[in-house]
A and B are shown apart, each in its own frame.
Chain A
Amino acid sequence: MSEGPDKTAFEQRLQAAEGAAKGPVRESAAKQAGSAQRALALAMRLGVELVAAMVIAVVIGWGLDKLFHTKPWLMIAMVPVGMAAGIRNLVRASGKPDKR
């Protein structure tokens, strides 16, 4: 009859041992150091992300203009699309890292 309580005690000890093996304290410390690093890395990214989408959009528009001989129009039409894509990049970059 004393098997029941013994078993729960064993489970508890097993859980404690597993927790110790995982080392939860070290992990949280590493996460904290990583967050400052991540913030700095993010700050470096944002500006370029915005511009890169714009550049790609304008280049695509320019290429299509050359293809269809519609000189400025497709390039102009691509500018708002490029701006939207840049904002999309920013939103994606600054979103929660685990919920992207």
Chain B
Amino acid sequence: MAAGSIDALGQFKLTAGLGPIGRAVNFTNSNEAMLGAAIVIVAIFAIGLQARALVPGRMQALVELLYEFVRNMCVDTIGEEGLRYFPLVFTLFAFILLGNLIGLFPYFFAFTSHIAVTLTLAMFVFLFSTGVGFYTHGFRFFKFFVPEGVPGWLLPLLVPIEIISYLSRPVSLSVRLFANMTAGHVMWEVFAGFMLLLTASLGIYGAFASVVPLGLNVALAALELLVAGLQAYVFAILTCLYLHDAVHMH
């Protein structure tokens, strides 16, 4: 790839992980990253909660910050009943956040850059919140699709709109996360490819000129760090919003 074209999408290719055992059971590098994210989050909590000090140390403060952040988000968005769904929201938030952050490191795989992963998570949230709606309200949950205070002759027009708006939730939830992560990684790869192309075609002048794409990549790293955290936050807060709609129906 030194002198050829820029292969920006090769980094998302699935390969076998964990050696020959992984190859035998189709355990991919994406699964490796997921397992890594789960292990890291459990390890952070296991280490951070060992001290149980009244005045927390660094690790304990990190754990408490994460916990309280998600807990407040649940209570603020869903209401007092939100605590019941706190474990789900926290698991999703921590898994996606760690997945995004792990993917930022060189040689690591960003599993949130695959629509198969994000759509699975989004479909789970969608089906779960719909299930919560029917569980809490029974068949009265269908009234969610009938806006209040609307003349009857408008309903044939408005109900399909509401249903489509509802069905679009998993799409917007999954596409947002997937697109943000993929776009960031592709941009990194493209700018890094520019550096190689410049050096290959212009020699020593090209090597000097490639400082520009290098600087852009450094700036992008900061942006990607923001996006990684923000997208995990957006996914979690939308999960809360959908659960709020399911519990309160408006």
Q: Is B160 an interface residue (CB 8 A)?
A: yes
Query: Which of chain A's residues have a CB closer than 8 A to the CB of B180?
Result: 44
The reply to whether A56 and B176 form a contact with Cβ atoms under 8 Å apart is no
B232-250: contact bitstring with A at CB < 8 Å (1 yes, 0 no)? 0110011001001100001
The answer to whether B230 and A81 touch across the interface, beta carbons within 8 angstroms, is no
- Chain B residues with a Cβ under 8 A of chain A: 72, 76-77, 160-162, 164-165, 167-169, 171-172, 175-176, 179-180, 230-231, 233-234, 237-238, 241, 244-245, 250
**Quick one: which of A37-70 are within 8 Å of B by CB?**
37-38, 40-41, 44-45, 48-49, 51-53, 55-57, 60
How far in angstroms is the closest Cβ of chain A from B36?
26
A75 at the interface (CB under 8 A from B): no
A interface residue numbers (CB < 8 A to B) = 30, 34, 37-38, 40-41, 44-45, 48-49, 51-53, 55-57, 60, 81-82, 84-86, 88-89, 92, 97, 100
Q: Which residues of B contact A89 (CB under 8 A)?
A: 165, 168, 172
A38–B244 alpha-carbon span in the complex (Å): 17
Q: Which residue of B is nearest A54, CB measured?
A: B168
Choose one: B72, B165, B176, B250; the contact of A45 (CB below 8 Å). B176
A30 contacts across to B, CB distance below 8 A: 72
Residue from B72, B161, B169, B231 in contact with A84 in the complex, judged by beta carbons closer than 8 Å: B161
